[in-house]
Each structure stands twice: as C-alpha cells, then as structure tokens.
C-alpha cells in the first residue's frame, strides 16, 4: 500500500461549535491506483485531501487518526520533516489553477524554481530542458513561448496544465487533485481528464481525485469512495459502485443527475431535505432523514459493512435497497418530495 489513512477524524472550531467535518475515515491507495473521493459540498472530501500532506494545522482543527505513507507514519511528523514528502512524494493540484499560481511571475519561473529548489545541483540549462519536457508531457503547445507567459495570459485549461506540470515535476508517487476540472468547460475538462489518465500510465503516479462530479469519477477512477456528512458511505471499484450503487445516498445522487440519455421533462429524483448539521451530527445513520428506506434500526449508526471482498456500504439495507429504490424513486408522487 502506498498510502493508508486510518480512523482519520477532523474537527474544526467554529462560532457555532465544533464542526465534525471528517469522522473516523479509513482509506488506502495502492501503487498506480486512481481513487476518486466523491461527495457534495460539506461532505468532508476536501478536508481529507488537505489532511494527507499535513496541510491542516492544529491551530484550526483537531485531527486524530493516523496517515501512513510508504510505511512511515507521516501524520506524526513535525512540519519540518513533512517538507521532504511534499512535492517530491505527495503533490497537489487545486480547482482554481490561476489562483494557485503566482500572478507576478512567469509560469516558467515558477516551474524552474520548483525544480531547482529541490535539486540544488541542477544547472539552469538542464532545469530549462526539464521544464520544456514537462510542458510537452502535459500537452502545452509551443512550450518555449509559454514558459515566458504570466498566468493571466493563459486560459483556464492551460493554467491547469501548468499546475499539473508543477505537481508532477518532482515525480511524486501520489497526486492529490481537488476538483481539478470543476472550473473548466466541458471540452477542456475531457482534455484534462485524458491527460491525468495518461500521466498515471506514463509515470505511474497514484491519484486521489476529489470531485463532486460522478461522471468525472467514472471516467478516471479505479476505485470510488463516496462521502456523505464526513463519512465514507460507499467504497468499491468505480465500475461497480457507479453502475450498481448499494447505498441509498449514492443511488439518489445518481438519479438526481440530469442526463442527456434520460427522458426530457420527467421529474428529476431530487433528494429531499438537506445534509445534517455537522456541529451536531445525528447519532444514527447520517442519511436516514433523507432516505426513502429508513427504518427504526437506522437510528443506530451503521458501520461500513463489507458486501463483497471489494465493496463496502454504510447501510443496514444495502442488498435489497437497489430494487426498492428503483420503485420508489420512479414514482412521481413521492411523499417526501421537497416541492409541494
């Protein structure tokens, strides 16, 4: 295992009380594996991504649990020692690439700085050659001119390519991509996903992709972890989870997604209600309030039960819920419908 996250909990202090953003989360990532962490806003998915390279400090949150990377427990390392992992072993790309780049320096400068900071012996000419090679790797046309460009001179898609070049410049073993395509237009989005997929094949990097977009997860990932209200509620191979979801939340999320292939004008199966308030999360199943199948037992907290060797779901009724979901979600007059 390249990365192992065990019982990770993250609580943020807020004026409304402690926000239990992530609750006892365990996740592992293998060599060369692409895993997608899927969830809606506030599900805790970005907190997980930030916690792995130690970017959430004790001053803003209480973190418990452990994070193991290549056999070393990096969650216990002081910040100074973590630096040798950041960039070289674990690197990150963010949603808004232009905001993540320095606006007053050329993208070439920023790439050269990264290369030369980590390898003091690297000569200027070799660094430049490596930079050109990286720009070509991420599909930036006319790389020589583009090295001299400022971020504002590049399009959003191009900035994201620069970010990816920066992120892979030190050959990291793990790339954490937090909503890398959410700010991009659909044609560019496909290009960036193609690039990420090609990179894993070419340089063998593992990727954790954090996204709200089920289609992105399906297009890219080997395995999917679906998060809801700070917990993983479903985990398994992407093809299986996204084709035959077992947890009612995953099912509902799929059915609420408008698709070109669906019937036009038909009522979308919206999920009624709101996610729970994480300053006081429910004792039982966190989705129970919005779940069409909730029963008395759901007042106690379900574990992430194993369904098959590779699949898990945090639900007391994972097996038969799919069938029941299809019948109940398709009825136009759903009793719990949000719109009256």
Partner 1 sequence: MTPTTDNTLPVAATPLLKVEDLEMKFPLHSALLRRTIGWIQAVRGVSFSISPGESLGIVGESGCGKSTLAETVVRLTTPTGGSIVFNGRDVTAAAGGDLRRLRRDVQMVFQDPFQSLNPRMTVRQLIREPMQVHRIGTVEEQQSRVAELCDAVGIDRRLIDRRPTTFSGGQRQRIAIARALAPKPKLLVLDEPVSALDTSVQAQILNLLNELRARMGISYIFIGHDLAVVRQVCDRIGVMYLGKLVELGESETLLEAPRHPYTQTLLSAVKALEADGSIDLTENLPSSGEVPSPKNPPSGCGFRTRCAYATDECASDSPELLDIGSLQEVACHFPLKLTDGSSRK
Kindly compute the dihedral angle of the four CA atoms of residues 65, 66, 67, 69, in this order, to the nearest 10 degrees: -170
Interface segment toward partner 1; rule CB under 8 A; list 77-85, 96-104, 118-126, 270-278 = 270-278
Of 70 and 98, the one with the shorter C-beta distance to partner 1 is 98
Residues 72-131 touching partner 1, rule: CB under 8 A, are none
Among the listed residues 78, 80, 264, 335, the single contact to partner 1 using CB under 8 A: 264
Pairing assessment for the beta strands 305-306 and 312-313 based on DSSP bridges: antiparallel
Q: Is 336 in the site for partner 1 (CB under 8 A)?
A: no
CB atoms within 10 A of CB 204: 11
Q: Is 51 in the site for partner 1 (CB under 8 A)?
A: no
> Which H helix or E strand runs over 241?
helix 238-243
Interface segment toward partner 1; rule CB under 8 A; list 5-13, 117-125, 255-263, 304-312 = 255-263
Q: Is 257 in the site for partner 1 (CB under 8 A)?
A: yes
Interface segment toward partner 1; rule CB under 8 A; list 50-58, 69-77, 96-104, 184-192 = 184-192
Ramachandran assignment for 100, one of left (phi > 0), alpha (psi -120 to 50 degrees), beta (any other): alpha
Q: Is 271 in the site for partner 1 (CB under 8 A)?
A: yes
Q: Is 244 in the site for partner 1 (CB under 8 A)?
A: no
CA separation for the pair 73, 76 (Å, rounded): 6
CB atoms within 10 A of CB 116: 16
What 3-state DSSP class applies to 215?
helix
Q: CB within 8 A of 287, min separation 6: which ones?
A: 228, 229, 233, 247, 248, 249
For partner 1 (CB under 8 A), the number of binding residues is: 48
Query: Which residues pair with residue 178 across a beta bridge?
Result: 210
What 3-state DSSP class applies to 29?
strand
Q: Is 194 in the site for partner 1 (CB under 8 A)?
A: yes
Query: Which residues pair with residue 68 across a beta bridge?
Result: 4, 73
Of 267 and 279, the one with the shorter C-beta distance to partner 1 is 267
Residues 208-237 touching partner 1, rule: CB under 8 A, are 212, 214-216, 218-220
Q: Is 55 in the site for partner 1 (CB under 8 A)?
A: no
Q: Is 327 in the site for partner 1 (CB under 8 A)?
A: no
Residues 148-167 touching partner 1, rule: CB under 8 A, are 155-158
Q: How close are the terminal C-alpha atoms of the chain, in Å?
A: 50
Backbone angles phi, psi at 246, to 5 degrees: -105, -30
Kindly compute the dihedral angle of the four CA atoms of residues 103, 107, 112, 117, in this order, to the nearest 10 degrees: 30
Residues 287-326 touching partner 1, rule: CB under 8 A, are none
Among the listed residues 243, 303, 306, 310, the single contact to partner 1 using CB under 8 A: 243
Give Cα 152 to chain centroid, integer Å.
26
Of 133 and 185, the one with the shorter C-beta distance to partner 1 is 185
Among the listed residues 35, 50, 253, 278, the single contact to partner 1 using CB under 8 A: 253
Length of the chain measured in residues:
340
CA separation for the pair 217, 210 (Å, rounded): 8
Interface segment toward partner 1; rule CB under 8 A; list 74-82, 97-105, 142-150, 191-199 = 191-199
Q: How far is the CB of 224 from partner 1 (least distance, A)?
A: 12
Among the listed residues 41, 125, 296, 327, the single contact to partner 1 using CB under 8 A: 41
For partner 1, the binding residues (CB under 8 A) are: 40-41, 155-158, 185-191, 193-194, 197-198, 212, 214-216, 218-220, 238-239, 243, 252-253, 256-262, 264-265, 267-272, 274, 338-340
């Amino acid at each position: 295992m390249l990365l192992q996250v065990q019982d990770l909990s993250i609580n943020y202090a807020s004026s409304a009380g402690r926000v239990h953003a992530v609750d006892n989360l365990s996740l592992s990532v293998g060599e060369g594996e692409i895993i997608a962490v899927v969830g809606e806003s506030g599900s805790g998915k970005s907190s997980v991504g930030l916690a792995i390279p130690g970017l959430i400090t004790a001053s803003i949150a209480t973190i418990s649990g452990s994070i193991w990377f290549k056999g070393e427990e990096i969650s216990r390392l002081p910040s100074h020692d973590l630096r040798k992992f950041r960039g070289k072993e674990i690197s990150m790309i963010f949603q808004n690439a232009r905001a993540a780049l320095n606006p007053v320096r050329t993208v070439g400068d920023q790439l050269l700085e990264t290369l030369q900071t980590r390898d003091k012996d690297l000569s200027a000419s070799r660094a430049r050659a490596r930079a050109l090679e990286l720009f070509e790797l991420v599909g930036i046309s006319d790389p020589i001119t583009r090295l001299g460009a400022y971020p504002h001179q590049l399009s959003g898609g191009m900035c994201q390519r620069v970010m990816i070049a920066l992120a892979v410049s030190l050959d990291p073993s793990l790339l954490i991509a937090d909503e890398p395509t959410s700010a991009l237009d659909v044609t560019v989005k496909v290009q960036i996903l193609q690039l990420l997929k090609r990179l894993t094949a070419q340089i063998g990097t593992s990727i954790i992709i954090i996204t709200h977009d089920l289609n992105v997860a399906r297009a890219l990932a080997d395995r999917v972890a679906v998060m809801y209200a700070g917990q993983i509620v479903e985990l398994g191979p992407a093809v299986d989870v996204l084709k035959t979801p077992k947890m009612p939340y995953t099912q509902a999320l799929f059915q609420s997604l408008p698709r070109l292939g669906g019937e036009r004008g038909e009522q979308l199966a919206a999920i009624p209600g709101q996610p729970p308030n994480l300053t006081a999360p429910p004792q039982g199943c966190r989705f129970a309030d919005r779940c069409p199948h909730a029963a008395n037992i759901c007042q106690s907290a379900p574990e992430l039960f194993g369904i098959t060797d590779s699949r898990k779901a945090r639900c007391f009724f994972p097996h038969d819920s799919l069938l029941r979901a299809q019948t109940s979600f398709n009825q136009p007059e759903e009793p719990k419908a949000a719109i009256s």
